[in-house]
Amino acid sequence: MRHFDLVIVGTGSGNSLLDSRFADWEVALVERGTFGGTCLNVGCIPTKMYVHAADLAATPEHAGRLGVDLTLDGVRWPEIRDRIYGRIDPIAANGERYRRDHPDNAHVSVYTGTARFTGERRLEIDGETITADRVVLAAGSRPMVPAVPGLADVPFHTSDTIMRLAALPRRLAILGGGFIAAEFAHVFSSFGVEVSLVVRSDGLLRREDRDISMQFTKLAAQRWDVRLGREPERVERRGDGVRLHLDDGATVDADALLVAIGRTPNSDLVNAAAGGIELSPYGYVMVDAEQRTTAEGVWALGDISSPWQLKHVANHEARVVQHNLLHPNDPIESDHRFVPHAVFTAPQIASVGLTEQEAQERGVAYVTATQAYSGIAYGWAMEDGTGFAKLLADPRTGLLLGAHVIGPQAATVIQPVIQAMSFGLDARSMARGQYWIHPAVPEVIENALLNLPLP
């Protein structure tokens, strides 16, 4: 039985822990899937590469209102797919090769398989047992699959597989109304696929600020076949495709089915409970501010412990865990005060901080203001009539409590607000204490700041 100074389970953000400061540690690195984790292989990076191509494909649809006539002559799906994975697959392969073979990693043993706790800092990997002084769980999450009758008997995809399709389907049905569903609906519809969304709730992206969710739901219904408040009662094979029978008696036929109802942490796969590790009611590994679990000598980071399920959060937590492993007597804490996110659909959506409904539920005093893209000069240039920025601020201090943007470049436009919230810059100082390039899209934030009813 081999004993290690450190075992890291997962090679996404967990792989970034190791640098030259660990050269005298005996380390085991365990991966059950593709080296590099979710973001690199089936998440953030390939999806955004598809989104960029989709944005270009969708350009003719909007160019006419600017007096420019464009046509989409074709979408070469195999070339799009192969360009993306022609870049990503070698990165994953080279990352694994580096850890296995490079002299820098002579102290690292790479295991392929599922690591499962069988006791305190004791893990079994495909029949082999290893122990460690310290364990870091960075094993990520996986797509959730609902218990719909017939689903297991038909071919269906998740975000893990949909991007490797051999060819574009003519019709795509998507179960779900969250960010994964919204992004893939944009990608495939831009490439000419007929998209249907079956959504259990009464709106899309329902965790966003209510005004954002309502606006996106309205715009989505103009572009896709959106079935709100519906659930599939059963699924059956129909020729070369599938048929979904909904709870209102309607049916949805499609050539491909994407299940995108969310992701679940892999705490069950690692048998966390056997290692003395407590879980939340939703299956997340419980951690404190230093990313320590309830088991002595075990830390966790990323999707297995973080309900945000965001790569930038996992990377931040990895830096905290790395420091605390190397400096146990001088630990630091994770900062989850202002965690931003973006949805790369059409239009883009970005958010940070409290939504208005969260502020109301928590009894937080706030003032709010919005600014439409159509009210700024660059919005005129784009003829954008649907986008807006919405801000919430503390009426006493003027500090920003939340920001929500729907419209072009939202993921970039929101970044100054994240910076202001992180460093305690109040709304009035932010609006008037700097130059704002004119005319540029961030003026939508400047004007929203000025619109806040603050003294």
Task: Output the pLDDT for position 107.
Answer: 98
6 closest CA partner among 127, 121, 140, 113: 121
Buried b (16+ CB within 10 A) or exposed e, 273-295: eebebebeeeebbbbeeebbbeb
Enumerate the active-site residues.
438
- Rg of the Cα trace of the chain? 24
Cross-strand pairs, 4: 132
Contacts of 246 (CB under 8 A, 6+ apart): 198, 227, 230, 231, 232, 233, 252
pLDDT in tens, 160-209: 999 999 999 999 999 999 999 999 999 999 999 999 999 999 999 999 99
**Enclosing H/E stretch for 406:** strand 400-406
CA distances from 412 to 58, 341, 416, 418 (A): 20, 11, 8, 10
Q: Does residue 8 contact residue 115 with C-beta atoms inside 8 Å?
A: no
Q: pTM of the predicted model, to two decimals?
A: 0.97
Buried b (16+ CB within 10 A) or exposed e, 211-236: bbbebbbebbeeebebbbebebeebe
Please work out, in degrees rounded to the nearest 5, the angle formed at the alpha carbon of residue 60 by the alpha carbons of 218 and 256. Answer: 60
Instruction: At 141, list the tokens.
Output: 């999450």
CA distances from 372 to 70, 95, 155, 404 (A): 27, 45, 43, 12
**13 residue type, one letter:** S
Q: How many of the other CB atoms lie within 10 Å of CB of 333? A: 11
Question: Which residues of the chain carry a pLDDT beneath 70?
Answer: none
Q: How far apart are CA 120 and CA 29, in angstroms?
A: 18
205 closest CA partner among 220, 190, 195: 220
Q: How far apart are CA 250 and CA 93, in angstroms?
A: 46
Task: Output the pLDDT for position 226.
Answer: 98
Instruction: At 190, list the tokens.
Output: 């831009």
Task: Output the pLDDT for position 258.
Answer: 98
Task: Output the pLDDT for position 55.
Answer: 98
381 closest CA partner among 332, 438, 328: 438
